[in-house]
A and B are shown apart, each in its own frame.
Chain A
């Protein structure tokens, strides 16, 4: 069983019908996008408000979710505790503490739009992977979060909430259905989509404060991408496919910057990469 050749062969043979995280993730992203696209229509045309909101605050009946960054900013700026808001943050927090930044890679509507952009680009350019032309040091992410929270506290209004790209998608949908217009701040989305033609997930990597907060909270997560160094053949496929510009083969799947999308697992021909539950120890 430990012969590398056996693994390679087995890996190649089973690749055709192998379970792909990318497919599953795309389906989930699509459903998550569909929810915020259809919801305003149901709210508006059918006057049914059972499921409501988008990923800033999402309500299913009496079960409310509040986005952790928005909730935190509201808490910090008003300096008062409002329990429904705190309780709404519990489930998202549990998700991020256990699974890490999966909201970003599996649910976020901006990721969905960027996936579509990526697929369209591939269809046009025939180049499978985009060369990342614009690279910023990964640590910028933390400064974004810090700056975001400080500026919000100075101006006395949560800054991210009205310029939040994940929330912005939902807001634009709602504006379109309810008022048959679009909010001007939507140009930010166009900027992000344009940047996707230069560098993959440029905004998500370094400038999304929500992503930064989720990365920070998920830095001690249970679900990790680990590399089995005995099976790794150093082909570099995972490095090329990683939308976050990480090098999973060097064990970067356990850093705070990894968002557990599973693209590297799909790209790995030898099966050296896998999801692991809390076996971090290098």
Chain B
């Protein structure tokens, strides 16, 4: 995403495109197995009514054709249509609440509420599971990891955009890095 340093260029062919705010659709199996399972049929891309899911091209190396959600552009609204059409089980059928696309992390050094520059509670207002996944602690947003689905609605709505494109609240794809036991 950032500049191409020489050592990165070679590794990009195999490198996972899943990074901060770049997530797989709901129900995705861990990245270790995702490129193997996904047959790049694009049906999740076609079914997504919000056009949240984009399809990667050959620049993503072996991940070409796999789906990706760029939450700061269009977040996932958890309609769960993509998990219903996946023919390979790359997206497993999960409920809205048990979706774990990632975990929202608040950057307290840039968040307006935490920096006391504004009484902003946009992320709290946008969260589909308020008081469960996010709550206000003395008017400052706090994430509750047990319920955060990583849908990215908060990231998308966050009014603070840093120079590197990150928001004051970002989704880290923690669960995508899980190991699979086959």
The yes or no answer to B7 lying at the interface (CB within 8 A) is no
Contact of B81 among A49, A54, A74, A77 (CB under 8 A): A49
Write the nearest CB–CB distance from A135 to chain B, whole angstroms: 29
Bound-complex Cα distance A18 to B37 (A)? 48
The yes or no answer to A53 lying at the interface (CB within 8 A) is yes
**In the bound complex, do residue B55 and residue A171 qualify as a contact, i.e. CB atoms below 8 Å apart?**
yes
**In the bound complex, do residue A84 and residue B89 qualify as a contact, i.e. CB atoms below 8 Å apart?**
yes
The yes or no answer to A272 lying at the interface (CB within 8 A) is no
Bound-complex Cα distance A183 to B63 (A)? 13
Interface residues on A, range: 35 or more
Write the nearest CB–CB distance from A269 to chain B, whole angstroms: 44
The chain A residue with its CB closest to the CB of B46 is A43
Bound-complex Cα distance A187 to B113 (A)? 49
Bound-complex Cα distance A195 to B44 (A)? 33
Subset of 22 A-B contacts with CB under 8 Å: A47-B49, A49-B46, A49-B47, A53-B43, A53-B46, A66-B39, A66-B88, A70-B39, A74-B88, A77-B37, A84-B88, A155-B62, A161-B40, A162-B40, A162-B58, A175-B55, A179-B54, A183-B55, A183-B58, A184-B57, A184-B59, A185-B64
The yes or no answer to B65 lying at the interface (CB within 8 A) is yes
The chain B residue with its CB closest to the CB of A56 is B41
Write the nearest CB–CB distance from A152 to chain B, whole angstroms: 9
Residues of B within 8 A of A271 (CB): none
The yes or no answer to A80 lying at the interface (CB within 8 A) is yes
Bound-complex Cα distance A185 to B41 (A)? 15
Residues of A within 8 A of B63 (CB): 157
**In the bound complex, do residue B64 and residue A174 qualify as a contact, i.e. CB atoms below 8 Å apart?**
no
Cβ-closest 9 pairs across A and B: A57-B41, A82-B89, A157-B62, A70-B39, A77-B36, A162-B64, A183-B57, A56-B41, A157-B35
Bound-complex Cα distance A67 to B41 (A)? 10
A74-B37, A84-B88, A170-B42 known; 17 other A-B pairs, CB under 8 Å?
A39-B46, A47-B49, A59-B85, A59-B87, A77-B37, A80-B182, A85-B89, A155-B62, A156-B35, A158-B36, A158-B39, A162-B65, A167-B41, A171-B42, A171-B55, A178-B51, A179-B55
The chain B residue with its CB closest to the CB of A66 is B87
The yes or no answer to A79 lying at the interface (CB within 8 A) is yes
Most chain-A Cβ atoms within 10 A of its Cβ — which of B47, B49, B51, B81? B47
The yes or no answer to A203 lying at the interface (CB within 8 A) is no
Most chain-A Cβ atoms within 10 A of its Cβ — which of B41, B46, B81? B41
**In the bound complex, do residue A85 and residue B62 qualify as a contact, i.e. CB atoms below 8 Å apart?**
no
Bound-complex Cα distance A273 to B65 (A)? 43
